[in-house]
Structure 1
Amino acid sequence: MTPPPTAATVEPTLATVAGPAPGAGSAPRAVGPLAGGALVLIAMLLVALNLRVAITSLGALLDDVRGGLGLSGTMAGVVTTLPTLAFAVFGAITPRLVRRHSPARLLVVAMALLTAGQLIRVAVDSAAVFIAASALALAGIAVANVLLPLLVKQHFPHRVGLVTGAYSMALTIGASVAAATAVPVAHLLGSWQAGLAVWAGLAAVAVLPWVPLALRARAARRTATTTAAGADRPTVRPARTRLGWAMAIYFGTQSLGAYAIMGWLAQLFRDAGFTPQTAGLLLAGGTALGVPIALLMPTLAGRLHSLRGLMLTLSAAMALAYVGMALAPHGGALLWVLLLAIGQSAFPLALAVIGLRARTHEGTVALSAFTQSTGYLIGGLGPLLVGILYEATGGWNLPIGFLLVALAVQTATGMVIARPRHIEDEG
């Protein structure tokens, strides 16, 4: 493994992928096989595979991209900061889009934007167009980030933890595979452009199952419009609730730590005496360990009445890893990487909690948008602030101290969201 814009409320005509939406006060219904439940799950997993590929493949090839496009240090900084900014901005407006269009239709557009953005950015030699095309691709990812928790709630309300874990695992696998293979693919195909372009094919595949689901949703929406018209439904504004802010800060602080680790862990191990290759393997190993854990943690969350013990366990693992890296970064490297992988499963856990802390579709999409848009803004500060502290001190004690402070905030907000409650009850 970040007052921001307020998430818009969702109107009562919010359509499910395969059928009309229930009333705002009702619990969502699971979609049976005849309504396309299996297809929805497959479609969701394909989307999840794409949610970090465009980012990690670019990170692996950034030096080549800088040389090929003549990017300045400032422009390269814009490229690396762009994902969190796009997730915040486009994630915040997603509830407004859901008011007018079904999630299935939005995901068709989102994956099409991701496909087009990845193709356009490798077909130009302009740094400005490259950044604009990257923003286009990231807009598609941002919309999908917000919609997946809603789809879990709509179609698998009794399997929120398990399905969230499944798509979190798919997300982690996609990110890891793209990071590991982008450079070899670029060398095999002869250019960094090819190394980035191949991932557009994966995004194009993710469009396909959503097309029939979008058509089905359009027909269901027409049926539901008359029934839903005139109903009085509550407004859900997470920014006006304690739970909403606790969710956003928890998501943001865990993202801050995760992004800082992804950006700086290899450098920390190099400074501890490891070769660059070994340091990179340690970082990759931590990512690989996170794959099965990403499935386990949300599944546990869905079965527990209170999440206090689980959240304290994850925070304790992170704290031990931080202290260990400060005191014995070389001798205990494997243990610290394992503890980091456990602690950073706070990310899939946070995604699962979004569905667990909302009773309605409206609440789920509003909480998802506010949590992720605000959280990614916070998370984006992690690599920057750790880098500033590292450069100022020439060591890792102060940066790790900063991460421990962020972890303390994460733990405190985790205790707030650990108790069973719903965002609709605080409005």
Structure 2
Amino acid sequence: MMAPMAREENRATTSTRIRTPETRTPVRPAPRAWTTRLLIAGIVLTALNLRPAITSLGALLEEVRDALGMSGSVAGLLTSVPPLCFAVFGVTAPRLARRFGPAAVVCAGMVAIAAGLLIRPFTGGTAGFLAASALTLMGIAVSNVLMPVIVKRWFPDRVGSMTGLYSMALALGTASAAAVTVPMTEVLGGSWQTGLAVWGGLGAAAVLPWLPFVRDRGTTPAQDAHARVDDRGAAPARDAHARVDAPRLRVTRSRTAWALAVYFGLQATGAYITMGWMAQIFRDSGVHAGTAGLLLAVTMVMGVPLAFVIPRLATRLPHQGPIVLALGVCGLAGYAGLYLAPAGGSWLWALLLGISNCSFPLALTMVGMRARSSAGVAQLSGFAQSTGYLISIPGPLLVGVLYQHSGGWGLPIALMAGLMIPQMAVGVLAGRDRTVEDEATR
């Protein structure tokens, strides 16, 4: 896949020359084949690291609760930490990208993920566990926001396919952590600490592809990767290295931005409830712990093929509402089955909920489609994701409280199904063919 993409870039950009305001002389572009491959490797490895911290914990949540003495409500708080951190830290990502460049910020995010995962299991208490989790989630938060920016900036003509590749890798990492954490823990001696800490190695590997882009601070992204001129047809400033132009939009004036933020928040609510609690739902219904982890993996792995197909399909449609509705119907069917016969049809329910969870790559794709420039995408991505994750914070916590006080999963599942209705409604609004630049300047 990488070689044809690189050749395509070579053909498209070989004859391009950039003149800076200072010299007005041609600038020789950097070797495009290896930079393109390195960027793709960085995007894939980054995506692989954006969910194992959460789904590996979901697979071992019962062991972690017993070891640290957590109640159901505290465990619910633990499953609410990811969206809280994503909301708090994600809003800083566009500002950090403007100052240091998106590649440098993503590289630092991978360092934070690796460090937090290695420290978290050995802190010895709930407070330390939460603090180390917050460090990991801080790295995930800024990378979450900047991935659409990087795709828009370096691959503006392939937003759908590159978002699909990124989303597919994200789903693969999510599913792999859910599937192999329990058996890997058993192979490594049965210690849940080791089973959680081993994922830090994947985070360390993701640092490497971004290092050349952090070090080369004197060139622009166009010179680094594709030797393209900017959106206005002029060469970017010489010292702008991979920086995102300062946003000038008032995104809060855009109805589409708000619809996209609410859609993102409601799909994130369902996703983090699923990642944090679904394995426990199956275990409480009599399913073996290893099988429950596999069921969670099935839910997550559905995103591997669909996360590549859905963004490409979405970019070909003038309105993404039909995809929103189809995913929502699958979610409602999955929750109904989980309520009526959680063990009897467990594989089918896991499959349906996995299809429904592909609302995430659809939301990312719409972020890239609802703004015209990389600066607009940066601001829209930061607003939609930060606001969305704020909306999603109460969901996992409320599920834990309802589970503890009702003594069963009936009320929590009813809550999940009920949230699917407004998610479908705002998703249809967010899928309309318009841009935030048009709405914000009216």
Q: Could you list the per-position Cα deviations for residues 221-251 of structure 1 after superposition, in whole angstroms to 9, with x for gaps in the alignment?
A: 89944698xxx97612323321111011101
Pair 1:317-2:330 in alignment: yes
Pair 1:357-2:364 in alignment: no
Identity of aligned residues (%): 50
Which aligned pairs between 1:227-376 and structure 2 lie closer than 5 A? Answer: 235-266=248-279, 268-269=281-282, 278-327=291-340, 329=342, 332-376=345-389
Q: Could you list the per-position Cα deviations for residues 235-284 of structure 1 after superposition, in whole angstroms to 9, with x for gaps in the alignment?
A: 12323321111011101111222223334444555666656665554333
Correspondence for 1:44: 43
Call closer, same or farther: CA 1:56–1:283 in 2, change over 3 Å. Answer: closer
Call closer, same or farther: CA 1:420–1:326 in 2, change over 3 Å. Answer: same
**How far does residue 166 in structure 1 lie from its aligned partner after superposition?**
1.2
**How far does residue 195 in structure 1 lie from its aligned partner after superposition?**
2.3
Give the partner amino acid of 2:47: A
Correspondence for 1:177: 176
Correspondence for 1:207: 207
**How far does residue 372 in structure 1 lie from its aligned partner after superposition?**
1.3
Query: Secondary structure in 2 aligned to 1:236?
Result: coil
Q: Is contact 1:185–1:194 with CA below 8 Å preserved after alignment?
A: no
Correspondence for 1:9: none
Which aligned pairs between 1:34-113 and structure 2 lie closer than 5 A? Answer: 34=33, 36-66=35-65, 76-113=75-112
**How far does residue 293 in structure 1 lie from its aligned partner after superposition?**
1.6
Pair 1:196-2:196 in alignment: yes
Partners of 2:239 and 2:219 lie apart in 1 by 14
Moved over 6 A (4+): none
Partners of 1:319 and 1:70 lie apart in 2 by 34
Partners of 2:124 and 2:209 lie apart in 1 by 33
Give the partner amino acid of 1:260: I
Give the length in aligned residue pairs.
397
Q: Is contact 1:104–1:217 with CA below 8 Å preserved after alignment?
A: no
Q: Could you list the per-position Cα deviations for residues 34-81 of structure 1 after superposition, in whole angstroms to 9, with x for gaps in the alignment?
A: 582222111110111111122222333344445555667666554333
Correspondence for 2:136: 137
Call closer, same or farther: CA 1:226–1:46 in 2, change over 3 Å. Answer: closer
Call closer, same or farther: CA 1:395–1:121 in 2, change over 3 Å. Answer: closer
Correspondence for 2:8: none
Call closer, same or farther: CA 1:181–1:425 in 2, change over 3 Å. Answer: same
Call closer, same or farther: CA 1:192–1:249 in 2, change over 3 Å. Answer: same
Call closer, same or farther: CA 1:96–1:151 in 2, change over 3 Å. Answer: same
**How far does residue 324 in structure 1 lie from its aligned partner after superposition?**
3.9
Partners of 1:269 and 1:243 lie apart in 2 by 37
Gap regions ≥5 residues in structure 1: 1-18, 23-30
Partners of 2:59 and 2:410 lie apart in 1 by 27
Give the partner amino acid of 1:180: A
Partners of 1:73 and 1:326 lie apart in 2 by 20
Query: Secondary structure in 1 aligned to 2:100?
Result: coil
- TM-score scaled by length of structure 2: 0.79
Q: Is contact 2:121–2:129 with CA below 8 Å preserved after alignment?
A: yes
Which stretch of structure 1 is more off in the superposition, 41-50 or 325-334?
325-334
Correspondence for 1:25: none
Query: Secondary structure in 1 aligned to 2:216?
Result: helix
Query: Secondary structure in 2 aligned to 1:209?
Result: helix
Partners of 2:78 and 2:403 lie apart in 1 by 21
Q: Is contact 1:237–1:366 with CA below 8 Å preserved after alignment?
A: no
Correspondence for 1:410: 423
Q: Is contact 1:236–1:362 with CA below 8 Å preserved after alignment?
A: no
Which stretch of structure 1 is more off in the superposition, 86-95 or 386-395?
386-395
Gap regions ≥5 residues in structure 2: 1-16, 21-29, 224-234
Which stretch of structure 1 is more off in the superposition, 323-332 or 147-156?
323-332
Give the partner amino acid of 1:54: A
Q: Could you list the per-position Cα deviations for residues 8-45 of structure 1 after superposition, in whole angstroms to 9, with x for gaps in the alignment?
A: xxxxxxxxxxx99x9xxxxxxxx993582222111110
